[in-house]
Structures are given as C-alpha cells and as structure tokens.
Structure 1
Amino acid sequence: MLSSLKRIFSDDAQWAATRTTAAFSARALLSVGIALFLAFSFQLQSPMSSVTTVMIVANPTVGALVSKSVWRIIGTIIGATISVGLMAVFVQSPVLYFMGLSVVVGLACMAATFLRLFRAYAAVLTGYTIVIISAPAFDNPDGIFLSAMSRLAAVVVGIVTTAAVFMVTSPRRSDTLFIQIHGLFRDTVNYILAFHQGYSNVPAQNADAPPGSTFRALPSTFHDSRAAMLTRIARLSDAVEYAAADNYDISVRQREIRAGLARLSGIVASYHPHTITPADTEQDRAVHGEIVAMLHTLLDLTKDQALEAMWTQGCARIQHARAIMIDEARATHSPRSLLFLDDIQDLLGQIDTALQDLSRRGSAGRRLRLQPYLEWPTALRNAARGALITLLATLIWYVLHWTAGPTMMLYVVAAASLLSTLPSASRAAGMMAAGTALGIPAGLLCHIFLLPQIDGYPLLWLSLCIMLLPGVWLQFHPKFGVGGFGYGVFSTVMLQVNNPIHYYNDISLFNGWMALFMGCIMLVLSFRVILPPNHRLDAARLVMSLTRSLHRLALSGRRQGKEWLVWENLQLQKVIRLAMRLSFFARPASMHEYIDAALATLSLGRLIERIRTIAGSPDIMGAQQAAIYDALDTFSELSHNPLLTAASLRRAATILCPPDALTLRPAAQVEAMACLEQAARIIEDIPGFLDQRGPLQWAEDYPAAHRPPLAAVRTEAG
C-alpha cells in the first residue's frame, strides 16, 4: 500500500491522473448533494431520481456542458411526452402498452447507437424517462400526468445541477487543446520520419525489379504504434467537438481542426506493408534524404513555435520538397521509383493541407462536413436487445404481479440504453451487471450502518458520498470503468431514499434488490446469450462495405458535393471498427494482415480518385481515356474476381505508357500509368481480403475460413 502511494506521488503522470479522478469525483458528489437538496426542497416525490440522473449525465469528459445539458433535456421531454401518449393510447390494454413500450425503447437504443458523443444521451434519457414516469402510474393510470411532471422535474433538476457545477468548477482553456494538437502533429511527423529512416539501410536491390512490399526495416511494434496513433487522433477529434460547444477559440476553427486531424489519420493509415518502397539507387537515396531533411525542418520549426506561427515556413518547405519529387518522377526511368515518387508527392500534399487546416482559420477544411459511419447491423441488434429485454421485464411483472417489477423495468431499460452507446455492448453488459450486483451488498451495509445514524441532510449527503465514491472513482479505470458506472448509477436506486425517508422496510428493500439482481441476469442473457454478437460476421460485413465503397468510387466517383477527405474518413472509421471486431477472435498475426489490407483499400481509393482526375486531362487521348474507364468498370468484379480487375488495370497502364516510353510521354500519361500500376499491385497483394469468398466471409467451422487471410481464392484472372 505504501509503495503504491509512493508511486502515485513520485510519478508525475500517475499524480496527474489521480488529481483528475479526484476532481471529477468531487464535482460529481457535489452535484449529487445539491441536486438531492433541491429535490427535497421542491418536495418532489422521488428525490433520488435527481441523484440517479446526476450519475448518468456526469461525464469524465470536460466540455460541451451546455450542449450536453440541452440534448439531455430534449431527451427527457421526448421521453415524458411518449410516456404520457403511450399510457393514454393503451390505458385499457396492458399487453399492447408493453409492446408499444418495447418498440419505443428499441428505437431509443438504436438512436443511442447512431448518435455520437453527448448527443447519444438524448436517446438514453428518452428511454430512462419513459420508465420512471410510467412505473408509478401502472396502478393508477389517471395520475400519469402528475407523475410525469414530478419525475420530469427531478430529472431536470439533476441535469441542470450537474451542468452548473461542472461549468463553474471545470477549466475551459483552449491553450491546453492547442498544445495537444501541436504535440500530435510533431508525433505524426516523427512517425513518418521513423518509416523513412528505417528504410535508409535496406540492402541494395535491382531498381527495375517489381515493386516490393517488405517492412523489414520497421520495428516489431509498428502495428501497435500505428493503432495507438489512430486512437489518439480519434480521441483528440472528439475532444475538439466537445470543446467547440462552449469555447469560442475552438468553435470558430472546429471544422478546420477536425479536417486537419482527419488528414493526419489518413497520413498515418497510408503507411502499411502494401506501400511502395523505393529501390536502393542513388536517385532514391537522394529522394529519401530530401524527405528526411524536410521532416527534420518541420520538427525544428515546431520545436519552439506554435503551428499558427510557423505554418507559412513549414508549408513552403513541404511544397519545395514536393516539387523536387515531381521533377524526379518526370526524370526517372525506373517503374518502381516512379511509383514511389508518385505516391510520396501525393502524401506531401496531404501533409501540407493538414498543416494549413491545423494552423489557421479559413483553410480548405472549413467547407468539409465529416460524416459518422452508421453501422446498421449493430444498431438493429441493439434495438432488438432493448425491445426484447423490455418486453420480458414487463411481461414478468404483469404475469407475476410482482410489486418490484417496475424497479426491474427501470434497470433493464436504462442499462440497455446506456450499453447501446458503447462500441461493444455485449462485452460491457457483463461488467455493468457485475457493478450493479456489487451495489446490493453495498446498499445493505449502507442501510445497516449509515442511514440509521442520520439526523439531517448533511449526514444523508455524507452517507451517499461514501456509498457512491467507489463507483465514481472507478469510472476512470480502463478495465473497470463500465462496472464502476453501473455501480454508481444504480446504487442510488437501491437505497430507496424517498420523501419522507423510510429506511426500515426490510421486505421492500430486499424485494427491490431482488428485482435489480434479476435485471442484471436478464441484461446478460439478452446481450450475450439470446442475441449474442457475431464478431466474425460483423467483421466480414465491414470488409464487404469497404469493397463496395471502392466499387462505387470507381464506377461513379464521389457523390456530388462530397469531398475526398469525407470518403476517406468514413472508410477509416470502418477500419477502426474492423480492428475492434477482429480483436475478439483473430490471432494477432492474422489481425495485422487484415488491418494492413483494410488500410490498403484506403490507398486504393486514393489512387482511383487520382486516376479519375487525371483521365480528364487534355494530355489523355480518346483511346487512352477509354482504356482507363474500361479498367475502372472492371471494379464491378472486384468482390468476385479481384485478379481480373488487377489485370485490366495493368493492361490500361500499358496502353497509356509502355515501360520503355517513360521519357517520351506527357507527364499526365506517366502519372496515370503509375497510379494504375500501383492500384493493380495493391489488389494483387490482397485478393483474399477483397473477394466475397475470402476466408473472413466463412464461418469458423468451414475449412475455407482457415485459408491464408490475403491469398487469392481464384488464382487466375478469368
């Protein structure tokens, strides 16, 4: 114990984390005290509903306090309206009412899956409010409106109190976020630098050899570092969206910053084993040296200057390096060097644009509207789970006439809605149920030792603080956060502190605790047994979604008004979800292969976009343009016969610019040839990933599921 305390005080990172956790715990418990005091002062029927609301809406993420509160109040009002409407329509038909309630809760769970960040709490509180308003009115439907007003008041008290406390006590400084963005940009530059420095000692190869895709010079931790970088960028993008709601400096540049972060994630994702690597020639060494020198210049410029102060110098240096890459590409006679130079000059353009987006207002990123990926299978599954568990709970209460049935309904609806906001609801269901179950003995101890001693409000608040502190504190723990959240939220239900307080009704207490325990069992059964996840099927659907996106991009280009970055960011969201799904069942080696292949599809999409752009150049003749579009048309066969698509791309490349005519053709033809060759090579690297009969598309018990992850299903392009 003493050694652990020593580490906390001696380690700056641990001490900072401890202070953050303690500050959040203090804010949450202060909100609990004020909300409960106001609920008692207003003589509300169920003052603990305000405490439960505080525990639901108190979020460790600082920012967007006003927006979060507005969305929560909107969800509460919608829930109250639906609750009164359902009771009015089905007042004489309990079974129909239960069915209608189940459908509404299912829709709330689906909306919670789709909505991002604090907006998801509108859906959560919709389902939660419906049940806490309906539960007291089951015995007396005529009192539903008064019940709605009372419970609505308790929920609003909790929401407003939490927002006020966190707004007054939470620091809202933009410089901290800008420092994080500055550090992330430098780390991205270092990430790129490590790649190119790693290849500086690759043994000499034949410059005219076919393009290779080895990562021999990269450290063994490359995949982990790439995943960490992508996760860090995603979290910072969420933090920007949070901060933009109540910080002017961030709000006026929110679109540019988020676009810049999206470009950085695209840059990080572009480094994978299917990237073209340069041959070890004098020309390629010079190119490599220029890239390293440019990256070192960026690091030197950002060492003591903010991005806002150095972006003009940095962009000028990047553009100078890019011009050198373009000149070298026009002068090269090596197909492999041409592919590498063509790829790297495009990447430098991305770095240039990202730096501008992160550094100034009014850059190209301002017009972009990044779109979230809507994973319909997961949302529909969560909707079915929420509807099913609600219907089961209501029917159990209706058939058994169990007096604690409404308590069980309150738990399963609130828990199902909250779980629907998480990336993996089934995985978190067990932790939330365990945290809730641990609240039962804690509630028993509180009723035995703490509540009988109170003689006023201060001691009641102190008792609640002692009871809730473990759950509030554990919300910051990466492993036990969901369990701590379940404990903190639903422990308030177990105490049954009403107005006036009655803490001596043991039968009522144990009845309520049994209802919550039954709710925990039903939650786990619904999310993990009755409707369990199929991570392999979800991963296969994501892979096919990536392939279909390439198909649509090749055949019709971008949708009208949709920028390339929007498309790329949407696909990258799929890759991140794919990585999460694969982590549940795939071996690390296979998982790395699949993720590398998924990131290669992003590179393939960028090549398709460039090919379509070049095809409109005046230097591309009619027959050559027809060859390009014919090759792109074969992307309709990408999921059936990827090698056929690759062969068509190579034929088009030969028509545009034969290898022996590199110096005789216009630059546009040479660039188009390079893009077509590189796209063909990527497809030839990952045919098993793109094929709809690939290993991932089969169930685990099929022999075809155990083929090499990326090997071609059909070995001939025919």
Structure 2
Amino acid sequence: MKRQHAIKQVSSDAVGWHAGVPPRAIVDAATEWTTTDGLVWLHLFKTVTAALLALGIAMLLELQQPRTAMTTVFVLMQPFSGMVLAKSFYRIVGTFVGMLAALSLGALFAQQPELYMVGITVWMGVCVAAAVRYRHFRWYGFVLAGYTAALIGIPTVTEPNGLFLAALTRAAEVAIGIVCSAAVSALIVPRRSSLALQNALQSRHLNFSAFAVKVLDGAVERGASERYFADLVDEVVGFEATRAFAAFEDPGMRSRSQVLARLNHEFMDVCARLHALHQLRKRLRGNGSIQVEQATASYFRELSQLLTTHNERRFDSSDAARVAIGLKTFQSTLPARMRATRRPLESGEPRCLPDFDTAGELLYRFVVEFIRYIDTYASLETNHNPARERPAVRYVSRTNAFVVACTFARTAAVVGAVSAFWIATNWPSGGMAVIGAALACALTSAAPNPVKLALQMTVGAACATVAGYLVTCYVYPVIDGFPLLCAMLVPLLAAGTWFASRAKTAGYGVGFTVFFCLLAAPDNVVVYAPALLINNGIAIVVSMLATAVGAAIVFPVQMPWLTARIEGDLRSQITLACTGPLTGLAQRFQSSTHDLMHQLRMLLPKRSRRHRRALRWMLVTLEVGHAVIDLRSEADRATYARYLHARWQPSLDRVTRDLAELFERPDKAHADKAQISVRAAMRVVQQSLEAVHTNRDRRHDQQRILSCLHFIRTALLDKDAPFDAR
C-alpha cells in the first residue's frame, strides 16, 4: 500500500508539472533567486545598458570623447534608484564646480604649467579633504569637483586656448552619462529605496523588540549585548544615509523625511535607555542586591510581555498601535505601583532604596521613550503625525580635524609627486598618470583600507590595459556598426560590473570598468594607436601604485595615534553633554556619538582589543552622557532648590566639571575625583529632599535628580568600565 501511495503521489506531481503548475520547491527557489542573485544580475543588466546607451547617444551627437559618458555611468550607477538620483544631483553640482575651477586655474596660470599643476594639486587636496569631512553623498559632490577639474584641465594644460571648449564638451559628456544612468535606473525594473527603507524599519524594529525582551528577561550576556549595540551603530548611520537619498525618488518619502529623521533619533534614545537599564540590572546582580531584583522582577516581566511581537516577519501600524496602548496603560499605573512596592523597603531594607529608585526611574524613562518611538512608527502610515508637531531634528556628523588635515596632505603628496615627475621628465603619458592619481585618491578617500582598494584598482587597471590592447588590435578593426560594437563590449563590461558589485572584489571591478572606458572605449573617430594605449595604461598602473604607496606611508588612516584622536573625540562627547545648550542637546549628542563610533568601526579590525575598547567607551559615553543630560534638565526645572541649600548648584556644577575632566583624561585619579564629587552632590540633594518632603512635586523632582546621580555613581564604580584601563 505504501508503494502504491508513493507511485500515486509521484504521478500526481508529474500531472501537476505537465499541467503547468511547477512543484513548490521550484517556486521557492525562483523566489529566493529573485531576491538574492537575481538582484545582482538585474543591476548588471541595467548598468551595461545605461553605459551602452550613453556611448550611443554621445556618438550620435558627435561629441569628442563618448568614453567620458560611458565612464560616468560606471562611476554613478547604484542598485537603488534613489542612490542614482542622489549621486546624479551631487555629480552635476560637483561637475559644474570642477569645470569652474579648471577654467579659473587656466585663466590665472595660462602657459605656466608648474603653477597650474600646483593649483590643481591644492584643489584636489581641498576637495578630497572636504569629501572626508562631509560624508555620504555630499562626499561624491566634493570628489567630483576635484577630479573633474583634473579631467578637464590636465589634457589642455599645454594648450590653454582649448580649455573652454574642452570644459563645455566634457560637461556635455558627463551630463549624458548622468541622464542615461538616472533614466535606466528609474524606468527599467526600478528598485525603490523607499521600499528598502520600509523593510529596514520593520526588520530593525522586530530585531530590537526581540533583543529588548531578552534584556528585560535577563537572558543577555555582556558580550552579546556589546555586539548588538555595536551593530546598531551601523544601522543608525546607514538608515540616515538611506533616508537622505530616498527623498530624491519618492515625493511621499520626501514629505516624511523629517518624520523618519525623528524616528531614527527616537530609536537611538530607546536603545540608550535599554542599555542603561541592562547595565543597572547587571550591576545590581553583581552587588548582590537581591531585594531590588525581586521587587522589580514583576515589572520587567510584564513589560517584556508587552513588547513581545507575535508576528516575527511583519510589524505594521496596527501592531504598533496595539503595543502603544499597552505601554501607555503600563506607564500610567507604574508610578503608583512602584510607590506601593517601595514602602516595605523603606522599613525593611532602606539601603536598597537608591538602587530601587534608580531602577524605577530608568524603567519609566525607557517606557516613555519607547512610547514616543512607537507613536511615530505607527503614524508613518496615517495622515496625522505627532512628530511633525515637535521641533525638527538634525543628524550631526563629526569628523576629527586631524583626519581632514591628513587626508589633504596625503592627496596633495600623491598628486603633487606624480605632477612633478611629469613636468620634470616631460613624460608623454604623464597627464594620464596625474588623472589616474586624482581618480584613485578621490575614490579611495572614504575607504576603511585605502591601500587595499588602491592595489585592487591597480590590478583592475592592468587587466583593463591588456583587454584594451586586445580589443583595439584584434576586435575594432574587424567589426562594423554600433550593434556589433555593443555585442563585443557587453562581456567585458558585464564582467567588470559583476566584480564591482561584490564587496570583496569591488576594487578590481571599479578599476577595470573605469579605466577600460578611459583607455580603450571607442570614440567617434577610432584611432589605431596601440603604443599610446600601452603607455597610458602603464601610466595609470603607476599612478595607482603611487596612490597605494602614499596611502601606506603618508599619514595612513589606521595609524594608532589617529584612531586615538577619534576615540578622544568620542570621549569628549561628555563635555558636550555637560556644557552644551540643553535645547536639542540629546539629539546632537546621540547622532555625533554614533557617527564617531561608526568611523572607528570602519578603521579598527573587528573583534580586536582596540575595537572592544572603543566600543566600551561608546557605551559608557552614551550611558553617562544621557544621565548627565537628564540631570541638567531636571536641575534646570528645579531652580527653587538653589534657595534650599547653598551648595546645591555648585555641587552639581562640580559633578559635570569632574566628569568632563575624567573623560578627557581618563585615569584612576580623575575617576576617584569624579566619584567624590558625585557622592558629595548626592548628600546635598538628599538634604534638599528632606527639606521638601511634604511637597509631592518637589519631592519627586529631587528623587529624579538623586536617581541620575546614583546611576552615574554606579557607572563610575563598574568594574568593567574603561576609565583606568591602559
């Protein structure tokens, strides 16, 4: 019977297959392919199509160098339409500024090649340094302004009369590449950044909710929590970048851009509150505060149940509204319930009261921040949005001045050295070498390992030279017509694009596609000059090697003292928390701290001792910084306390001053000094609390201030804190 049943099942599957209904496994495999490798092939197809379209239009218009339009496509094309449109916008601006710079330098230093190349070198250094300072897609605008000036001006440095015409022609060629990239990306199976952003929002919320449940249940170890919060840094910075270019493609996303910015900041606030709550519970367990753990366990368990997501794949506005209702009910009853739980401790375990009050305050603040975040999340699909009624938020990026200065010095040294060699030797292909050095310095400026990327581009450029020689000598002479030209170019361009789409081989692909187009892409009038092609290819390879050498020896980005400077900027965020204006301070503090840590994560090897140290500094900076901002906010509202105790305000000022000194110069002496000032302030606030004990509102004010100070004290006493680590 089993055998007959099996035969019958196979027969029914076969009938279904012949009837046009494929087996379920094939459908699942096809679906998975369309969301993984299929997207890569789609990007490859669109990139090659846009490149050939730009080449054809430039040839049809009889422009001087259609290869420039083709090169523009490969530098510009991105998987999402919003990325392409954003890069197109900044490329147009950068190209226009670069064209003006080339014309200005040509007018100032006509028939003076040495001074002209000094100007180009300084201009490249300034543009690349500004690109490092203003990252994301603004980076691209500054980079384009730099190497567009080199691309336009260097070929005409000895022929200044042709500079203006060359600038206009180059601008037209670049514009064709921009238009073709944007059109193909937006019209042929477009991939919307807005959809990717919505999916990222859902995925991030589901992952965070699951992690928060584990934290509230006490099921997260220290190493796991550190890794999770480290990954959140990349998510926050990546979300901000995606939000910026999603506004270019979708009017709906553009109108909700400020709401999404608010949502990202509120997500950072919730993460910071959750980490503070996790740290306090860890310290309570380490100090043996069993009574506080037992007294607060029911609240953590109840909150964990409220945050549990039933659908592990989707979280929409209705789910958010349901969670918000439950959290608001929990918030409204929490203070009264906490006071009822506190009364037995007042008589039985008075020493546990500071820990209990701090735990209750942190729990309440976490719930408040989560409600604010979930309300904004739920309003994304509705017309009414409470975030629009709040002050606008702005993501603040911060870059160390030494990093910017070193980038300028490195770029100027490489471009200047290649330019000096060209002028001194009168090298026929020296101009191409300078253009290659400018391109390499610009494209590697934002890479975490510019030496590796430059070497990969060197290999790609060498392969492009060989491929260009073979094409020029053996293919171009035997083909006729644009269709055959496209058929010949497709395999080469597709191979380069495929390598460029892989993170580990991106340098090879970029080097191959960009420099194949510059060296061997056809012009309207194809010139058979293999010797010139080989010489230009050698010049490009030499310039790539010079860029790699310069990145390795002229202020390399991974120098310990340079990363130490960035880590110092990270610690100095506490000074911002202690002294900055309170209006919008939490937003500036959060975003700039995450931005600095993101830079360190790019520069430091993952799972290294230096990376773990930087991560711990980020976590303790966020932890203490938020507590200081809360302390200053509460003290700003409780101005009456200055008249209750003469040392009330001076003691709090001393706390902020000593904390800033501790993070600026972390050592045991400054840590002890900060602990002493915190304990002194706690005694002063305790005396003020006793003085206003009969006034409920003022009593709660002083209790909140006391909880902030107690939490700062527990952070300073944490044995895992990096304050006195060498």
Tell me the TM-score normalized by structure 1. 0.85
Mapping of residues 469-548 of structure 1, within 5 Å: 469-502=494-527, 504-548=528-572
Residue 583 of structure 1 corresponds to: 605
Specify which of 296, 300, 310 is matched with residue 305 of structure 2: 296
The Cα offsets for residues 242-291 of structure 1, whole Å up to 9 and x where unpaired, read as 11222122112112212212332343355277444355746644634433
Mapping of residues 692-707 of structure 1, within 5 Å: none
Distance of 1:55 and 1:8 partners within structure 2: 34
Say which one has the larger Rg: 2
User: Against the structure 1 CA distance between its residues 532 and 568, is the aligned structure 2 distance closer, same or farther, given a 3 Å change threshold?
Assistant: same
Residue 70 of structure 2 corresponds to: 51
| Structure 1 residue 383 corresponds to structure 2 residue 408 | yes
Specify which of 128, 131, 134 is matched with residue 153 of structure 2: 134
User: Against the structure 1 CA distance between its residues 9 and 190, is the aligned structure 2 distance closer, same or farther, given a 3 Å change threshold?
Assistant: closer
Distance of 1:373 and 1:286 partners within structure 2: 42
**Quick check: 143-152 or 628-637, which moved more?**
628-637
Residue 602 of structure 1 corresponds to: 622
Contact 2:686-2:706 within 8 A present in 1 as well: yes
Q: Which runs of 5+ in 2 are unaligned?
A: 1-24, 346-351, 380-384
Residue 558 of structure 1 corresponds to: 581
Distance of 1:226 and 1:634 partners within structure 2: 27
SS at match of 1:198: coil
Residue 4 of structure 2 corresponds to: none
SS at match of 1:24: helix
Distance of 1:513 and 1:153 partners within structure 2: 25
Contact 2:67-2:521 within 8 A present in 1 as well: yes
Cα drift, residue 659 of structure 1: 13
Cα drift, residue 56 of structure 1: 0.9
Contact 2:68-2:170 within 8 A present in 1 as well: yes
Distance of 1:579 and 1:622 partners within structure 2: 46
Distance of 2:30 and 2:612 partners within structure 1: 33
The Cα offsets for residues 71-101 of structure 1, whole Å up to 9 and x where unpaired, read as 2111111111111110111113221111111
Specify which of 204, 210, 225 is matched with residue 228 of structure 2: 225
Residue 672 of structure 2 corresponds to: 643
Tell me the TM-score normalized by structure 2. 0.84
Residue 180 of structure 2 corresponds to: 161
User: Against the structure 1 CA distance between its residues 96 and 687, is the aligned structure 2 distance closer, same or farther, given a 3 Å change threshold?
Assistant: farther
Q: Which runs of 5+ in 1 are unaligned?
A: 1-5, 200-216, 691-709, 714-718
SS at match of 1:605: helix
**Quick check: 310-319 or 54-63, which moved more?**
310-319
Specify which of 250, 253, 258 is matched with residue 255 of structure 1: 258
User: Against the structure 1 CA distance between its residues 328 and 375, is the aligned structure 2 distance closer, same or farther, given a 3 Å change threshold?
Assistant: farther
Distance of 2:576 and 2:556 partners within structure 1: 32
Distance of 2:691 and 2:560 partners within structure 1: 45
Contact 2:440-2:544 within 8 A present in 1 as well: no
Amino acid at match of 1:191: F
Specify which of 460, 463, 466 is matched with residue 485 of structure 2: 460
Residue 178 of structure 1 corresponds to: 198
Mapping of residues 433-452 of structure 1, within 5 Å: 433-452=458-477
The Cα offsets for residues 447-483 of structure 1, whole Å up to 9 and x where unpaired, read as 3553333211112222222212122112332212233
Cα drift, residue 228 of structure 1: 3.0
Residue 206 of structure 1 corresponds to: none
Cα drift, residue 500 of structure 1: 0.6
Mapping of residues 6-21 of structure 1, within 5 Å: 10=29, 15-21=34-40
User: Against the structure 1 CA distance between its residues 187 and 378, is the aligned structure 2 distance closer, same or farther, given a 3 Å change threshold?
Assistant: same
Distance of 1:36 and 1:161 partners within structure 2: 10
Contact 2:567-2:614 within 8 A present in 1 as well: no
**Quick check: 154-163 or 56-65, which moved more?**
56-65
Cα drift, residue 653 of structure 1: 0.9
Residue 573 of structure 1 corresponds to: 595
User: Against the structure 1 CA distance between its residues 353 and 425, is the aligned structure 2 distance closer, same or farther, given a 3 Å change threshold?
Assistant: farther
Contact 1:8-1:15 within 8 A present in 2 as well: no
| Structure 1 residue 314 corresponds to structure 2 residue 323 | yes
Distance of 1:172 and 1:423 partners within structure 2: 28
User: Against the structure 1 CA distance between its residues 613 and 500, is the aligned structure 2 distance closer, same or farther, given a 3 Å change threshold?
Assistant: same
| Structure 1 residue 287 corresponds to structure 2 residue 308 | no
Residue 349 of structure 2 corresponds to: none
Cα drift, residue 399 of structure 1: 1.4
The Cα offsets for residues 526-577 of structure 1, whole Å up to 9 and x where unpaired, read as 11123323442233212322332212432x3436x43412321111211222
Amino acid at match of 1:193: V
**Quick check: 220-229 or 113-122, which moved more?**
220-229
SS at match of 2:36: helix
Contact 1:66-1:245 within 8 A present in 2 as well: yes
Specify which of 236, 241, 251 is matched with residue 239 of structure 2: 236
**Quick check: 678-687 or 666-675, which moved more?**
678-687
| Structure showing the higher helix proportion among its residues | 2
User: Against the structure 1 CA distance between its residues 426 and 353, is the aligned structure 2 distance closer, same or farther, given a 3 Å change threshold?
Assistant: farther
Contact 1:109-1:420 within 8 A present in 2 as well: yes
Distance of 1:682 and 1:12 partners within structure 2: 49
**Quick check: 50-59 or 424-433, which moved more?**
424-433
Amino acid at match of 2:267: L
**Quick check: 293-302 or 47-56, which moved more?**
293-302
Distance of 2:673 and 2:360 partners within structure 1: 27
Contact 1:301-1:310 within 8 A present in 2 as well: no
Amino acid at match of 2:556: P
User: Against the structure 1 CA distance between its residues 14 and 435, is the aligned structure 2 distance closer, same or farther, given a 3 Å change threshold?
Assistant: farther
| Structure 1 residue 418 corresponds to structure 2 residue 443 | yes
Cα drift, residue 510 of structure 1: 1.1
SS at match of 2:600: helix
Amino acid at match of 1:465: V
**Quick check: 421-430 or 505-514, which moved more?**
421-430
SS at match of 2:331: helix
Cα drift, residue 633 of structure 1: 3.1
| Structure 1 residue 35 corresponds to structure 2 residue 54 | yes
Cα drift, residue 619 of structure 1: 6.7
| Structure 1 residue 657 corresponds to structure 2 residue 686 | yes
Distance of 2:195 and 2:721 partners within structure 1: 47
State percent identity of aligned pairs.
Answer: 20
Q: Provide the alpha-carbon RMSD of the alignment.
A: 3.1
**Quick check: 301-310 or 564-573, which moved more?**
301-310
Contact 1:263-1:350 within 8 A present in 2 as well: yes
Distance of 1:82 and 1:589 partners within structure 2: 45
Equivalenced residue count is 666
Amino acid at match of 2:686: C
Cα drift, residue 590 of structure 1: 5.4
Distance of 1:7 and 1:494 partners within structure 2: 44
The Cα offsets for residues 433-452 of structure 1, whole Å up to 9 and x where unpaired, read as 33333323333343355333
Residue 124 of structure 1 corresponds to: 143
